[in-house]
Amino acid sequence: MISNNENRAVLALQELMNVARLSRNQGDAWLYALTWLAACRLTPLDINGGASGINGLLLRKTWDHHLYSPIPDEAKELVWGLQADSPSELTARTQALSIVTGLIEQGDSQDWNVIDAPWQLAGSLRTDFFGELVLAPELCELLFAGINAQSGDSVWIPFDLSGQLVVRAVRKGLKVIAAGPLGRSQLHLKLLLAIEKVGMSNEASVVFDVPRSGASRDLHCDFSIATPPINMRIQPGTGWRQWEGINLEQVSGDGLYSRQGHFAQVQLDRSDSWAVAAFWPRISKRAVFLVSPNVLFAKGQEQRLRENLLLNEGALSAVTMLPTRQMSVTSMASALLILDRKNFKREVRFTDAAELTIESKSTMRFSRILDLPEVVSLMMGEKEDLKISITVEVEEIAKQDFNLVPARYLRQSLTGPRRSLGELVQVIRAPVASKDPAALSVQEAGFPELDGWREVSGPFSKTTSINGRKLEDSMLMQGDILLSIKGTLGKSALIGRVPAVDPSARHAVMKLHGDSISTDAVQSPVVPSQSCIALRVVNKDISPIYLLMYLRSNDFKGQLESLRVGAVVAHVTPATLMQEIKVPIPKASELGGYQKKYDELCGLEASIEIADRRMSDIRSELWPTHADVGAN
């Protein structure tokens, strides 16, 4: 529940929704509650601050009065529908009237700020949005900071299923176009505006539809804030294409657009990347897009989009990586792209705001609150912190294959003599599992074995079956280093003594028997799991011990973080690791020192395990249970 110090209108909203849930379809609860708040807001106040006609809301004819014309008929039908005379509906209206009367009697003269209620209230309220996007309030403000529009400017907000952005634009005096490709009802927006407009000195116009011009919409605007569905595949025939604004100068077989009869069509079919290409040609000044991290690094159509924005358009001015859990429908991180028609410097401002949050004492928020002032000052270049934000020229971005992940450009400068990891090691990859009856059963080393200092030698709990011909290329040996490259990146382990067999001898035995043989007849080798690779040192300038210790260092973790990709499951390719990771090369006399440090770490690790076991034994001995006695 919300504390009593919170906005009373939000509390009333929650109570009204509870009334709706008890008397009607739960999906109407949000709109039903907004309808009553709008009616309450529109009811004239008497000289004592009360609502002179509030009791009249129990009569249908009151709702038909011109004072309540801002409330759409569709919303009024939620209160006065086909079952209006049923006992449950009569009771619901009486309860709703009591709630809004109490709100007025509290004499709270502040604005009824309910636009962020879906974010502020408990999770039960969010079910009334059927999984639609709700944004953290600080993220909403960050989007407006990105466009930096002034009162009187026009802004296109094509996706706003909660009303958070449109109402904020109205408050800022902007002229709003609230139409977009989703084709959803705008009833919630009209109700929120009916609540907002009372007492406003400067009403901003809101356009809910845009006329067609042939097969396309006739739409041009100063600014845009676009929060499209994340990574949704656009289906043909759903009407999205009519919202595309085409830059005809770029229509070519290799560009972002292709000719389709008499029209040009964007060659993108994933919602967030499509929105950037489709909407930007309609904007004359600046636009902000909320996208998945996938848009920043994915190959194919996303890379063509990035190349176009940087080389042809030259419009991309800022990329900001945001913390996780800033949206209701997903816990994944998101990113902001800012496009500017006046970005003539051919440079991009990169900001990694993934950790820029402040603590929240509320138990109703998804996570810590975005540190809005800090993010804005860094994103807009008003403040410098080279660990978090940096300005990079387009030429440098092109060298990185147009990758827009901020961490890639925020790597600390690497000092001392270094060599690429690929020059120092051989990569041992996980074999492909086989369902062939003649496949070999082998042990598999993976996540359970990672992160300790001492060598891991098995036996390993997991096994897999592989083609015998693939064994030689994937079999692990003592001194190999296992490294995770998918999921939790960068965990490592040193492989100790493991079974080693001659693959040719195994094949000879199999051939002699004319079929597969039991793995118990010979030793079972070990291969990496699908989430890992193994590194085998082939250069005498380093040792396996030295490389393991480097892979545990902050220096390596900083480099690795700049290479990670994946919006849902983080990963990095072996080829990228071999090329991009730069390993410092020690002097030959220093390798012995690293060996001593490693031996000390192994000793400390063993001591900790002994201490942990002893603490557990002492705890069990204090007041032993039957289970403890049985175990002993």
Looking at the structure, do residues 96 and 183 belong to the same domain, yes or no? Answer: no
For residue 126, tell me if it sits in a domain.
Answer: no
Phi then psi dihedrals of residue 98, to 5 deg: -60, -40
Specify the pLDDT at position 518. Answer: 44
Q: Above 70 in pLDDT, residue 584?
A: yes
Looking at the structure, do residues 320 and 374 belong to the same domain, yes or no? Answer: yes
For residues 516-541, average pLDDT: 80
Q: Domain of 478? A: 421-586
For residue 416, tell me if it sits in a domain.
Answer: no
Looking at the structure, do residues 392 and 439 belong to the same domain, yes or no? Answer: no
Q: Above 50 in pLDDT, residue 257?
A: yes
Residue 629's CB is within 10 A of a number of other CB atoms, namely: 9
For residues 10-38, average pLDDT: 84
Q: To the nearest 10°, the Cα dihedral for 260, 263, 266, 270? A: -80
Looking at the structure, do residues 64 and 25 belong to the same domain, yes or no? Answer: yes
Looking at the structure, do residues 76 and 101 belong to the same domain, yes or no? Answer: yes
pLDDT tens digits, 284-340: 999 999 999 889 988 888 999 999 999 888 899 999 999 888 888 677 789 999 999
For residue 414, tell me if it sits in a domain.
Answer: no
For residue 125, tell me if it sits in a domain.
Answer: no
206-207 and 175-177 strand pairing: parallel
pTM summary value: 0.77
Looking at the structure, do residues 384 and 469 belong to the same domain, yes or no? Answer: no
For residues 146-167, average pLDDT: 93
What CATH number does residue 346 fall under?
3.40.50.150
For residues 223-248, average pLDDT: 86
Q: To the nearest 10°, the Cα dihedral for 202, 206, 211, 215? A: 130
Specify the pLDDT at position 245. Answer: 87
What CATH number does residue 562 fall under?
3.90.220.20
Specify the pLDDT at position 202. Answer: 47
Distance between CA 106 and CA 286 in Å, rounded? 43
Structural domain count, the chain: 4
| HSE toward the beta carbon, residue 249, CA cutoff 13 A | 4
Looking at the structure, do residues 163 and 223 belong to the same domain, yes or no? Answer: yes
**Are the CB atoms for 495 and 445 separated by under 8 Å?**
yes
Looking at the structure, do residues 301 and 362 belong to the same domain, yes or no? Answer: yes
Identity of residue 324: T
Looking at the structure, do residues 345 and 480 belong to the same domain, yes or no? Answer: no
Specify the pLDDT at position 53. Answer: 77
Looking at the structure, do residues 286 and 181 belong to the same domain, yes or no? Answer: yes
Looking at the structure, do residues 427 and 399 belong to the same domain, yes or no? Answer: no
Confidence of residue 249 (pLDDT cuts 50, 70, 90): low
For residue 415, tell me if it sits in a domain.
Answer: no
Question: Of 139-143, 275-279, 356-360, 577-581, which range is least confident?
Answer: 356-360
Distance between CA 521 and CA 509 in Å, rounded? 10
Write down which residue in 380, 409, 438 finishes a domain. Answer: 409
For residues 626-632, average pLDDT: 59
Burial label, 503 (beta-carbon count in 10 A; 0-12, 13-18, 19+): middle
For residue 130, tell me if it sits in a domain.
Answer: no
Specify the pLDDT at position 255. Answer: 67
Looking at the structure, do residues 425 and 560 belong to the same domain, yes or no? Answer: yes
Q: Above 50 in pLDDT, residue 560?
A: yes
pLDDT tens digits, 348-392: 999 999 888 886 554 444 457 899 999 999 999 999 888 899 999
For residue 460, tell me if it sits in a domain.
Answer: yes
Q: Please give the structure tokens belonging to residue 233.
A: 């595949």
Average pLDDT taken over every residue of the chain: 84
Write down which residue in 79, 114, 149 finishes a domain. Answer: 114
